[in-house]
Amino acid sequence: MEFRDLKQQYQVLKGQLDAAIVKVATDCNFISGKQVGELEKSLANYVGVKHCITCANGTDALSMMMAAWDVKPGDAVFVPDFTFFSTAEVVSFQGATPIFVDVDADTFNMDVLKLEDEIQKVICEGKLKPKAVIPVDLFGLPANFHEIEIVAKKYHLLVLEDGAQGFGGMIDGQKACSFGDAATTSFFPAKPLGCYGDGGAVFTNDDTVAAYLRSIRVQGKGTFKYDNVRIGRNSRLDTIQAAILQVKFDAFKEYELTNINLVAERYTEKLKCIVKTPLIPEEFYSSWAIYTIQLDDRKQRDNLQAKLKEQGIPSMVYYPKPMHLQQAFADLPYEGNCSVTEKLCECVLSLPMHPYLTNDQVDMVCDAIRTYLGK
């Protein structure tokens, strides 16, 4: 059994993927080929924004937006404590200070009440200027943007949606990567929409920001490649990855997103009386990048993981350490209260999750969990 079965996905899409790859190789149009622009238009239309600017990876997408907003030393940027490292890392890239915010125990996403508490603490202390907030669509579920945006507006903060895991999710029919002042996603192979390498994108309705991003992703270019009007970086999405994503995007829209929600429903139905299963609030729709259950404590979690491994069932722990305890951030003043994150890091376990998971495979995983827990 695969945790995220990219092998099966390739076999299903093999004819189309092979043709797309060969087309790029035949044309020898490896950098900035027409497939990149076509993909950007398709993704922007799907999300419902004016601009999609692709780049080399999801971390660059976040970092480019920090540069676009001139995040700098003395600024405070609020990020979830329970997330992947890059969400906070890009803040430090700019010399700014990430402020860690606890998450909701049921959704795993940023707790809006805790967000306002941390903003007020920063304002009262007076050492940093609140600049932005980066809510994460963790495990495929969009963050509570309706309430987050109210708080952000109250304190004049910019909102950057980190949709690395959230592409395809929705709130009241509005798609992930369209919330806030801008949004980013990742095309890392294991993401809901993944390529065969690294890739990322920024989504925005701001024409000025879009033009800036298109410039800095190619060494700060102006009207042509050798006209450099600002300091930039080399962060282009390869044409071959764009071609792969075009094929995968069609499958994602046609059946993968629906199928993975059916898998999630089966998991939840079979496990809801055995362990704590993920909560999807009313009017929310997840793209299920990861299906994560909660056990009682670390010992129970680790023992279950070992038992699953004995039966050939892969599982993962996302995430074993809170952001505020990462050594890279040891020099930051941390006076928060992220007790929910600390507990989650002790008890979460993620199960195999992908659109090609069969009912028999789901049942096998659930039976193994039920047997181990004696239920």
Write down the pLDDT at residue 375. 76
Q: At what angle do helices 239-251 and 6-27 cross, to 10 degrees?
A: 140
Write down the pLDDT at residue 5. 97
Give Cα 13 distance to the centre of its chain.
24
Task: Give the position of tokens 């992220």.
Answer: 338
The domain ranges of the chain are: 6-101+108-247, 257-373
Kindly report the CATH class assigned to 6-101+108-247. Answer: alpha beta
pTM exceeding the 0.75 threshold for the entire prediction: yes
Query: Is the Cβ–Cβ distance between 287 and 176 less than 8 Å?
Result: yes
Query: Is the Cβ–Cβ distance between 167 and 159 less than 8 Å?
Result: no
Write down the pLDDT at residue 126. 97
Nearest to 163 by CA among 181, 178, 144: 178
Residue 106's contacts (CB-CB under 8 Å, 6 or more residues apart) are: 278, 279
Write down the pLDDT at residue 201. 98
Cis peptide before 226 (omega within 30 of 0): no
Write down the pLDDT at residue 225. 84
Write down the pLDDT at residue 287. 98
Gap between the Cα atoms of 231 and 216, Å rounded: 7
pLDDT per position as a tens digit, 215-261: 999 999 999 889 999 999 999 999 999 999 999 999 999 999 999 99
Residue ranges in the chain modelled with pLDDT below 50: none
Topology annotation, domain 257-373: Aspartate Aminotransferase, domain 1 (3.90.1150)
